[in-house]
């Protein structure tokens, strides 16, 4: 190919992406509080989510104290315990993980990675955060109303959620449901932004198949969330009506405390269907962004193109689509038709196929890569281990016959914590260590990061591995204390105590992380624009941290995918997405063929 032809191909047409009119705030409050800049909104989302997540972390430690050392702590009574369980689960799943992945990383990374100045509807984006904050405040308020927060478990199953005897049926459950409704409204506003920005605001050359997998993961998770959250919305509203005005959507005719209630003929099963129709996609709403982010971390730090990019995209889409037809595997013990259970067991096993594809591709990305074992990479590799462990137990629980005896035991607790709590949170940590230099301009401390990683990674195994055995013994979950129960071996209490000690150590290890976040902001090593030598657009910005508008005067033009690492014959072992073929050193004729292949 001659130089002339090359230049002709390099012709860049006039900008097709319209320059966006940015809102320019004049006051400090406009810049950092009522901000319409996606990056500031992302940080607001991130800080709020992490703060409320710390509350949930403390709750889990209190639960573990009770389980490990029953009858030792006076301030935990059975009602409190149930409230802690409920709030811990609800906060971690929805207010921390969903908000952090989509509101936090989504807001920060989507505009930067697709080469946009900002989200397409910045004002709506701002409102989204404030509604989310309101939802969090309502949730926190529910702890302080008379009767305290709800203790119905994060699944909020009726009739028990709104029947006397369950903690928090006065104000707690009402505020919980209101908070969920607010969260969904806020999320929908943000979600519209993420979708439309990915589809409409990509810069020139950024075809869909050149998007980093992080954007794909967040995009598909948003699609799932927009379609699945309405199910939670509907069930929350209907339960609110059952509780407040006495309708009988979910509440059956029943005798409560010796008296016939006014409810008649509602269906608790209907709630379970609606809840899990949201609840199962929710697992993937949390998992898909983690899948996407971890793909980019692995590729960047292994200095190798992600293995099977298109397969990865298709797997994300396939998992997203399939996640809507597996919900009833959470309900095997609800007395369903066996054929129904057979159907859902089958779909559940089918969804393991694209998921396993992704795992193979991650491992193959590492294969013979030039692995840089820095902190983000440690977390990314830790994720692969943990996700495989949690995923494999999922195959057991997906089968009806194995699920029935294990249902509602600690085996389930171990499974879902491995697969959708520890795995995504490892990615959250990896992602924070990875992008903190871009967000603040300073590196996080490496030693503190490694201490944080090893204690967290090994510690979570010390917590959740033994729980599988407790589950096999038949230890039921959500119990305040076990007392002398025949089927329980004497050593199970010792195991519980050991788990508690591990949990306390892991919880305290997070202090290393928080201290690191805080001190590095002031004293961390200056990062420079591209400390990881990465290819994606957020590392090619004019300023670090990027200013309002992201890219200086001109939007970047994209010439290649996000995974040009270790390209043969290139000068550096990475080629950023905005480097045109003619800007690269021109190879000799003999090497030309190799590069084009």
| Contact in structure between 358 and 312 (CB atoms under 8 Å) | yes
Does 190 contact other proteins by CB under 8 A? no
Min dist. Cβ of residue 311 to other proteins (A): 10
Q: Which of 563, 565, 574, 576 binds other proteins (CB under 8 A)?
A: 563
Q: Which of 31, 273, 303, 477 binds other proteins (CB under 8 A)?
A: 273
Pick from 230, 235, 239: which is nearest to 173 by CA? 239
Does 498 contact other proteins by CB under 8 A? no
Structure tokens at 149: 């927060």
Measure Cα distances from 371 to 297, 301, 303 in Å: 11, 6, 7
The continuous run of DSSP H or E covering 553 comes out as none
Of the chain, the end-to-end C-alpha distance in Å amounts to 14
Q: What is the distance between the alpha carbons of residues 283 and 404, in angstroms, rounded to a whole number?
A: 21
- Contact pattern from residue 149 through residue 188 relative to other proteins, giving x for each residue in contact according to CB under 8 A and a dash for the rest: ---------------------------------------x
Does 415 contact other proteins by CB under 8 A? no
Q: Residue 144 has what DSSP assignment?
A: H
H helices within 422-490, ranges in order? 423-440, 446-473
Does 13 contact other proteins by CB under 8 A? yes
Q: What is the distance between the alpha carbons of residues 33 and 25, in angstroms, rounded to a whole number?
A: 11
Q: How many residues does the chain have?
A: 597
* Closer Cβ to other proteins, 264 or 573, answer by number: 264
Does 585 contact other proteins by CB under 8 A? no
Q: Which stretch binds other proteins (CB under 8 A): 23-31, 67-75, 314-322, 340-348?
A: 314-322
Q: Which stretch binds other proteins (CB under 8 A): 101-109, 262-270, 351-359, 458-466?
A: 262-270
Pick from 63, 291, 81, 102: which is nearest to 189 by CA? 102
Q: What is the distance between the alpha carbons of residues 461 and 587, in angstroms, rounded to a whole number?
A: 50
Phi, psi of 255 (to 5 degrees): -100, 125
Q: Which of 64, 117, 210, 280 binds other proteins (CB under 8 A)?
A: 210
Q: What is the distance between the alpha carbons of residues 556 and 153, in angstroms, rounded to a whole number?
A: 48
Q: Which of 47, 207, 572, 592 binds other proteins (CB under 8 A)?
A: 207
Q: What is the distance between the alpha carbons of residues 494 and 484, in angstroms, rounded to a whole number?
A: 14
- Interactions with other proteins, residue window 75-94 (CB under 8 A): none
Contacts of 419 (CB under 8 A, 6+ apart): 283, 287, 386, 387, 389, 390, 391, 393, 394
Does 231 contact other proteins by CB under 8 A? yes
Does 234 contact other proteins by CB under 8 A? yes
Does 362 contact other proteins by CB under 8 A? no
Q: Which of 104, 115, 205, 576 binds other proteins (CB under 8 A)?
A: 205
- Interactions with other proteins, residue window 274-293 (CB under 8 A): 274, 277
Pick from 110, 430, 104: which is nearest to 295 by CA? 430
Q: Which stretch binds other proteins (CB under 8 A): 76-84, 95-103, 236-244, 373-381?
A: 236-244
Does 201 contact other proteins by CB under 8 A? yes
Q: Residue 579 has what DSSP assignment?
A: -
Structure tokens at 333: 């013990």
> Residue 442: beta bridge partners?
526
- Interactions with other proteins, residue window 564-583 (CB under 8 A): 564, 575, 580-581
Q: Which stretch binds other proteins (CB under 8 A): 50-58, 155-163, 265-273, 430-438?
A: 265-273
Calculate helix-pair angle for 172-200, 122-144, nearest 10 degrees: 160
* Closer Cβ to other proteins, 448 or 579, answer by number: 579
Does 135 contact other proteins by CB under 8 A? no
Q: Which of 313, 406, 455, 537 binds other proteins (CB under 8 A)?
A: 313
Does 267 contact other proteins by CB under 8 A? yes
Min dist. Cβ of residue 382 to other proteins (A): 28
Q: Is the dihedral of CA 362, 367, 371, 373 positive or negative?
A: positive
Does 325 contact other proteins by CB under 8 A? yes
Q: Which of 163, 247, 334, 566 binds other proteins (CB under 8 A)?
A: 247
Structure tokens at 125: 């984006």
Q: Which of 127, 270, 359, 505 binds other proteins (CB under 8 A)?
A: 270
**CA dihedral angle for residue 304, residue 305, residue 307, residue 311, rounded to 10 degrees:** 160
Does 302 contact other proteins by CB under 8 A? no
> Residue 574: beta bridge partners?
565
Q: Which of 17, 139, 182, 527 binds other proteins (CB under 8 A)?
A: 17
Q: What is the distance between the alpha carbons of residues 104 and 214, in angstroms, rounded to a whole number?
A: 13
Does 199 contact other proteins by CB under 8 A? yes
Does 305 contact other proteins by CB under 8 A? yes
Q: Which stretch binds other proteins (CB under 8 A): 24-32, 76-84, 107-115, 192-200?
A: 192-200
Does 226 contact other proteins by CB under 8 A? yes
Does 321 contact other proteins by CB under 8 A? yes
Q: Which of 81, 84, 183, 249 binds other proteins (CB under 8 A)?
A: 249
């Amino acid at each position: 190919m001659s130089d002339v032809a090359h230049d002709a191909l390099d012709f860049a047409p006039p900008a097709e992406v319209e320059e966006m009119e940015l809102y320019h705030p004049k006051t400090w409050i406009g810049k950092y509080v009522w901000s319409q800049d996606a990056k500031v909104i992302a940080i607001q989302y991130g800080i709020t989510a992490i703060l409320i997540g710390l509350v949930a972390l403390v709750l889990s430690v209190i639960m573990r104290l009770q389980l490990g050392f029953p009858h030792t702590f006076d301030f935990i009574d059975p009602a409190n315990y149930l409230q802690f369980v409920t709030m811990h689960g609800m906060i971690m799943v929805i207010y921390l993980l969903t908000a952090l992945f989509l509101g936090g990383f989504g807001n920060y990374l989507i505009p930067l990675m697709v080469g946009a100045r900002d989200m397409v509807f910045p004002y709506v984006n701002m409102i989204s955060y404030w509604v989310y904050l309101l939802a969090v405040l309502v949730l926190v308020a529910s702890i302080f109303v008379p009767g305290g927060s709800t203790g119905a478990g994060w699944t909020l199953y009726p009739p028990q959620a709104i029947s006397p005897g369950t903690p928090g049926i006065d104000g707690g459950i009402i505020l919980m449901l209101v908070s969920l409704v607010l969260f969904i409204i806020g999320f929908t506003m943000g979600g519209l932004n993420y979708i439309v920005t990915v589809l409409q605001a990509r810069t020139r050359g950024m075809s869909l198949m050149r998007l980093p997998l992080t954007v794909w993961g967040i995009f598909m998770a948003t699609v799932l969330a927009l379609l699945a959250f309405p199910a939670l919305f509907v069930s929350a509203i209907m339960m609110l009506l059952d509780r407040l005005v006495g309708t009988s959507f979910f509440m059956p005719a029943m005798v409560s405390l010796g008296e016939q209630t006014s409810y008649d003929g509602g269906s608790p099963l209907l709630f379970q269907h609606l809840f899990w129709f949201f609840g199962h996609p929710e697992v993937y709403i949390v998992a898909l962004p983690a899948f996407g982010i971890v793909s980019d971390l692995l590729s960047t730090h292994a200095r190798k193109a992600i293995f099977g990019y298109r397969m990865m995209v298709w797997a994300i889409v396939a998992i997203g689509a399939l996640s809507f037809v597996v919900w009833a595997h959470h309900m095997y013990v609800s007395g369903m038709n066996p054929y129904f259970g057979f159907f859902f067991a089958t779909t559940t096993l089918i969804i393991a196929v694209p998921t396993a594809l992704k795992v193979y591709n991650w491992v193959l990305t590492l294969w013979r890569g030039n692995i840089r074992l820095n902190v983000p990479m440690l977390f990314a590799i830790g994720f692969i281990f943990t996700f495989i462990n949690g995923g494999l137990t999922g195959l057991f629980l997906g089968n009806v016959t194995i699920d029935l005896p294990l249902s509602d035991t600690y085996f389930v607790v171990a499974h879902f914590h491995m697969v959708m709590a520890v795995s995504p949170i490892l990615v959250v940590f990896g992602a924070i260590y990875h992008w903190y230099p871009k967000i603040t301009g300073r590196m996080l401390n490496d030693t503190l990061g490694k201490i944080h990683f090893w204690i967290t990674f090994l510690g979570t195994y010390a917590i959740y591995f033994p729980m599988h055995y407790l589950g096999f013994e038949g230890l039921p979950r959500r119990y305040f204390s076990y007392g002398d129960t025949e089927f329980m071996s004497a050593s199970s209490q010792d195991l519980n105590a050991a788990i508690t000690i591990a949990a306390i150590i892991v919880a305290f290890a997070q202090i290393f992380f928080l201290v690191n976040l805080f001190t590095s902001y002031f004293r961390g090593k200056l990062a420079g624009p591209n400390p990881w030598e990465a290819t994606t657009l957020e590392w090619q910005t004019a300023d670090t941290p990027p200013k309002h508008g992201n890219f200086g005067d001109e939007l970047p033009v994209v010439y290649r995918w996000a995974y040009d690492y270790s390209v043969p014959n290139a000068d550096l072992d990475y080629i950023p997405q905005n480097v045109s073929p003619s800007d690269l050193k021109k190879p000799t004729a003999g090497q030309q063929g190799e590069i084009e292949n």
